[in-house]
């Protein structure tokens, strides 16, 4: 992990205090420093970029190379608000910026963009070096507690530090405090009541890109926890009646389901659970087969062979897929060829609840865009800007989350720079 633990002395009154040392906050600091502002970054952790480094452990997925219309569509209901930010700093701009750090990138077979060495740490090291060279100062183990009431200074910020509470006065503030996933890495959602008390409208934080609980039998859970299910597709009608159908793979967990395919559909699954108390998804265990092909194979005479042997030899159904059939269907349904054939293409699976927000990849909800102007300045708190995952948007994994964090950090920084010229 890059060494970022040594605090530097901050100016008595920085032009801008950036609170939060993730990608959005660091991008805001870089843009502000380039504008000539004196910038101090404050973070509660001993080092910055902890969630960024964690995300890079499996390969640092920076962004995605798909065409712009499809890329923008990944942001769902908030596409309109994020589109101007992504037009200013989108996927290609992010790649160019990374190249400017001396890090090469490549496009994987899925369209995802990675650093050539697949690692986050070299990129963060190079970035922090450049930030320090530009004059950005870092203050670790500074946990933001809110504002100093009665101080008379609009942006008097109170922090808890190992040496006691301290107050920092700044001309403007950029909040990049993250959502509520992975609290141990710094994103704990503790900022929500502090902003709500100041009249900022906030959508409740909810799990996103998450796994879900399923009431597995003890036998199934014991036998198949950790088993990948592939190839497979999931179908789900959302609350508006739109059919979501996506192919990929997921993993059986001790308590339910998780993995890339589940994460990609986590928003509509979560929304159905919130509306109905639970959701039923349908698993296509044979996505490369038509319904007619499956029906013909199921109804093919099996002679003295067992049903398990028949399904294995005719359709390759074995292992966890066979286990899912036994788990989700009654014995009578398994023995009825018509029901079994339909179920192989649309096996109903009852999903109970998302996993706890602290263990999911990201969170939805946050500061509503209606509470900010186009520069991401809070209407209730002039001179205070917000960026990153603490805003009310969500996106699937695949580089979309990180790209929008960078882009919103840049937008907030440009807004703060403009504010300084007016203040």
Residue 185 contacts residue 355 (beta carbons within 8 Å): no
Q: Does the N-terminal peptide bond of residue 170 adopt cis geometry, omega within 30 degrees of 0?
A: no
3-state SS class at 371: helix
What is d(CA 224, CA 324) in angstroms, rounded to the nearest whole number?
9
Full pLDDT tens readout for the chain, 423 residues: 443 434 444 445 899 999 999 999 999 999 999 999 999 999 999 999 999 998 878 789 999 999 999 999 999 999 999 999 999 999 999 999 999 999 999 999 999 999 999 999 999 999 999 999 999 999 999 999 999 875 545 589 999 999 999 999 999 999 999 999 988 888 899 999 999 999 999 999 999 999 999 999 999 999 999 999 999 999 998 877 889 999 999 999 999 999 999 999 999 999 999 999 999 999 999 999 999 999 999 999 998 999 999 999 999 999 999 999 999 999 999 999 999 999 999 999 999 999 999 999 999 999 999 999 999 999 999 999 999 999 999 999 999 999 999 999 999 999 999 999 997
Residues written for the chain: 423
CB atoms within 10 A of CB 290: 10
CB atoms within 10 A of CB 93: 17
What is d(CA 45, CA 184) in angstroms, rounded to the nearest whole number?
9
| Residue 407 C-beta-side C-alpha neighbours within 13 Å | 26
CA distances 146 to 81, 143, 193, 271, 314, Å, are 27, 9, 10, 32, 64
Residue 74 contacts residue 412 (beta carbons within 8 Å): no
- Long-range CB contacts for residues 92-97, cutoff 8 Å, separation at least 24: 94/62, 94/63, 94/402, 94/403, 94/406, 94/407, 95/62, 95/63, 97/406
What is d(CA 374, CA 238) in angstroms, rounded to the nearest whole number?
30
Class of domain 16-207+360-422: alpha beta
Where are the domains positioned within the chain? 16-207+360-422, 212-354
pTM of the entire predicted model: 0.91
DSSP state letter for 198 = T
DSSP state letter for 154 = T
Helix/strand/coil percent split, the chain, to 5: 40, 25, 35
Residue 267 contacts residue 360 (beta carbons within 8 Å): no
Residue 27 contacts residue 409 (beta carbons within 8 Å): yes
Q: Where are any strands of DSSP class E within 54-201?
A: 63-64, 105-107, 112-115, 137-139, 143-147, 156-161, 164-169, 172-175
User: Which of 59, 23, 113 shows the shortest CA–CA distance to 104?
Assistant: 113
Residue 204 contacts residue 271 (beta carbons within 8 Å): no
Task: Say what the pLDDT of residue 324 is.
Answer: 98
CA distances 135 to 157, 224, 269, Å, are 21, 53, 46
């Amino acid at each position: 992990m890059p060494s970022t633990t040594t605090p530097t002395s901050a100016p008595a009154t920085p032009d801008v205090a950036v609170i939060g040392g993730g990608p959005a906050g660091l991008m805001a600091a870089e843009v502000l420093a380039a504008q000539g502002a004196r910038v101090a970054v404050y973070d509660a952790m001993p080092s910055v970029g902890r969630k960024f480094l964690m995300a890079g452990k499996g390969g640092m997925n920076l962004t995605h190379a798909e065409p712009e219309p499809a890329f923008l569509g990944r942001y769902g209901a908030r596409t309109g608000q994020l589109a101007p930010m992504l037009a200013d700093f989108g996927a290609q701009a992010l790649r160019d910026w990374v190249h400017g750090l001396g890090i090469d990138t490549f496009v994987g077979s899925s369209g995802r963009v990675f650093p050539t060495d697949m690692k986050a740490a070299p990129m963060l090291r190079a970035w922090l070096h450049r930030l320090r060279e530009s004059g950005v100062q870092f203050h670790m183990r500074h946990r933001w507690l809110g504002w100093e009431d009665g101080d008379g200074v609009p942006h008097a910020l109170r922090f808890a530090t190992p040496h006691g509470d301290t107050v920092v006065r700044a001309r403007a503030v950029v909040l990049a405090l993250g959502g509520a996933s992975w609290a141990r890495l710094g994103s704990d959602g503790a900022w929500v009541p502090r902003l709500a008390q100041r009249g900022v409208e906030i959508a409740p934080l909810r799990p996103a890109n998450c796994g879900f609980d399923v009431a597995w039998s003890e036998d199934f859970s014991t036998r198949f926890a950790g088993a990948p299910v592939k190839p497979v597709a999931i179908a789900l009608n959302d609350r508006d009646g739109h059919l979501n159908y996506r192919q990929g793979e997921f993993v059986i967990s001790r308590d339910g389901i998780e993995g890339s395919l589940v994460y990609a559909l986590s928003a509509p699954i979560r929304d159905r659970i919130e509306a109905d108390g639970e959701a039923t998804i349908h698993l296509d265990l044979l996505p490369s087969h038509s319904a007619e092909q499956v029906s013909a194979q199921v109804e093919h005479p099996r002679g003295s062979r067992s049903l398990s042997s028949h399904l294995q030899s005719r359709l390759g159904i074995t292992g966890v897929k066979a286990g899912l059939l036994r788990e989700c269907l009654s014995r009578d349904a398994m023995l009825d060829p018509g029901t079994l054939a339909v179920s192989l293409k649309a096996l109903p699976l009852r999903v109970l609840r998302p996993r706890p927000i602290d263990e999911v990849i990201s969170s939805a909800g946050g500061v509503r865009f209606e509470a900010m102007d186009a520069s991401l300045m809070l209407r209730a708190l002039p001179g205070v800007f917000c960026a990153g995952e603490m805003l009310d948007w969500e996106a699937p994994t695949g580089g979309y989350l990180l790209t929008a964090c960078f882009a919103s950090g840049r937008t907030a920084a440009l807004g703060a720079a403009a504010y300084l010229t007016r203040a």
